[in-house]
Structure 1
């Protein structure tokens, strides 16, 4: 909506992880270095953790874009609540190994045969498990067992485990001692600082042809940092709304006041009043009416979990959640604007109609 107004080629703050927007902060460069080190070692596990929205998925996708498919066969598995009975089938499916109706022993033989043939062809197999905190201990143990596959003295499978901070706690549990012995490097991806937040915003704007329109005041950047706490996905959400707000108010500069106003609106949207309550009190419709779309409740639904499991390993859970969040914000913004129109609508006509009706 606002891209043409500011002379941009595209949407700078989209939530979908796009490697073309990758920003190498100190933390992201270090995390990428750990992943590349793991590739060089060609054995064991690399563990990367970070807060929700810290850029882990974007990091993985940026790494995958760098890989030479003639040298590395990579499989990217986004895990939901997967137990040991399913993890092997998902790994096999991720590598394109036929696994329907195979018993566990036959499935292990099929995976091993694939890994041996890959190595014999002069290639290496890489398994990346995103959202690893969702794995059960038994599922993690199955992954560890896969790392035992060797051809002479060469490991046949390299694994990266990427997850939220709680995965670090899971790793410290007594049943994970054997896995910990296989971890050759581990890194926690933290938030950006104030300077990196500003550089991140300008980097993403620059990716779509930004020439300083709109300009960002220094105090506005500080407000963005404080509201997002340096988490890239939160920065994207705030900046997207700020750009929309600047467009709607026809401003060519982003001020601290504008950012504060947008942030307050976003906070109000965490409340879910009913439509009738919002109209009756002439308050902005801050978010979706209760019952229409509760994102967290939807994601926790057992029926949805079954549907996602049936969708197979090619289903991108992270993108699904981001699209749901985008839908929630889009509808919320529309309802908010409707509420403001209702609140500011002239009241005289309504009074005249009531008087006429009473005659």
Structure 2
């Protein structure tokens, strides 16, 4: 039995077995893997922002929505847009307006109507930059929070919203917005884009890319393990990362250079929320 610290032992095994510089699916991605669907969705979002539209971006958890938002922010010229990304969206009551006032350096008021007036006054005095507000995990916004966004976007029904709103969320976001109480806000939104899971070919390319980034230029997954990894992941890169990392750890414990099917199965044991997929084999 090794006398080394477990971390040292695992890192030594990583280098001995594979000659890798880091764990393939745990290391930070050196270069974003952007699919054709990612690029097309990003292009459409840029167009929607250019015409000052508001809308929804939704898709499965782990498919890359946050990365897409990051890419969008990087592409929106700072000389044209004032962009805010709000990643903590489980807000309640008047927290939405109060938080926005705080971010814009405005005095906070207890009454919602006062915060609303302060934000509208600020827009009337803006410096020519178009405001873009992006709410990630928007499915967690309360009904009151969504209502506050409607109030902010709708001073009069015949006027354009004074900012672009992008609500980003998972599969539960659209059913929330389609509820009767939220339909007035839905009526102010001009587009709905869905980021789809990757194709099998795109997922396979991603696996090879993650391996190559740490110095592994051959596929160490045997065919059965590779096929099982891709099938269970279902085109979700986050799932590929979780399963791939756990499978590498299992192989390291057995001092096995090849990642085999049983290593994927043991990885699944550590990810019980994926267990139902295992039963469908």
TM-score w.r.t. the length of structure 1 is 0.62
**Which runs of no fewer than 5 residues in structure 1 stay unpaired?**
272-359
- 3-state SS of 2:124 partner: helix
Query: For residues 221-240 of structure 1, what are the structure 2 equivalents within 5 Å?
Result: 221-240=226-245
Distance 1:41 1:221, change over 3 A: farther
Match in the other structure for 1:294: none
Match in the other structure for 2:43: 33
1:11 CA displacement? 5.1
Q: 2:79 aligns with which of 66, 70, 83?
A: 70
Instruction: Assess if the C-alpha contact under 8 Å between 1:80 and 1:134 holds in 2.
Output: yes
Q: 1:157 aligns with which of 163, 166, 174?
A: 163
Task: Please tell me whether residue 92 in structure 1 is matched to residue 98 in structure 2.
Answer: no
Match in the other structure for 2:263: 262
Give 1 or 2 for the bigger CA radius of gyration.
1
1:232 CA displacement? 1.4
> 1:57-113 CA deviation, whole Å, 9 max, x = no partner?
2221222233333332211112443234211112233x3323444532332233223
Instruction: Assess if the C-alpha contact under 8 Å between 2:250 and 2:267 holds in 1.
Output: no
1:199 CA displacement? 1.4
Task: Please tell me whether residue 103 in structure 1 is matched to residue 111 in structure 2.
Answer: yes
Query: For residues 296-335 of structure 1, what are the structure 2 equivalents within 5 Å?
Result: none
**Which runs of no fewer than 5 residues in structure 2 stay unpaired?**
1-10, 273-281
How large is the Cα RMSD of the aligned pairs? 3.0
**Structure with higher RCO (Cα < 8 A, 6+ apart):** 2
Task: Please tell me whether residue 182 in structure 1 is matched to residue 183 in structure 2.
Answer: no
Match in the other structure for 2:225: 220
- 3-state SS of 2:198 partner: coil
Mapped to 2, the partners of 1:128 and 1:36 lie a distance apart of 13
Instruction: Assess if the C-alpha contact under 8 Å between 1:97 and 1:110 holds in 2.
Output: no
Distance 1:153 1:142, change over 3 A: closer
1:251 CA displacement? 4.5
Match in the other structure for 2:198: 192
Distance 1:247 1:113, change over 3 A: farther
1:163 CA displacement? 0.8
Mapped to 2, the partners of 1:3 and 1:108 lie a distance apart of 56
How many residues matched? 259
1:162 CA displacement? 0.6
TM-score w.r.t. the length of structure 2 is 0.78
- 3-state SS of 2:94 partner: helix
- 3-state SS of 1:182 partner: coil
Distance 1:133 1:4, change over 3 A: same
Mapped to 2, the partners of 1:36 and 1:218 lie a distance apart of 40
Mapped to 2, the partners of 1:12 and 1:154 lie a distance apart of 48
Distance 1:248 1:133, change over 3 A: same
Instruction: Assess if the C-alpha contact under 8 Å between 1:15 and 1:233 holds in 2.
Output: no
1:40 CA displacement? 1.5
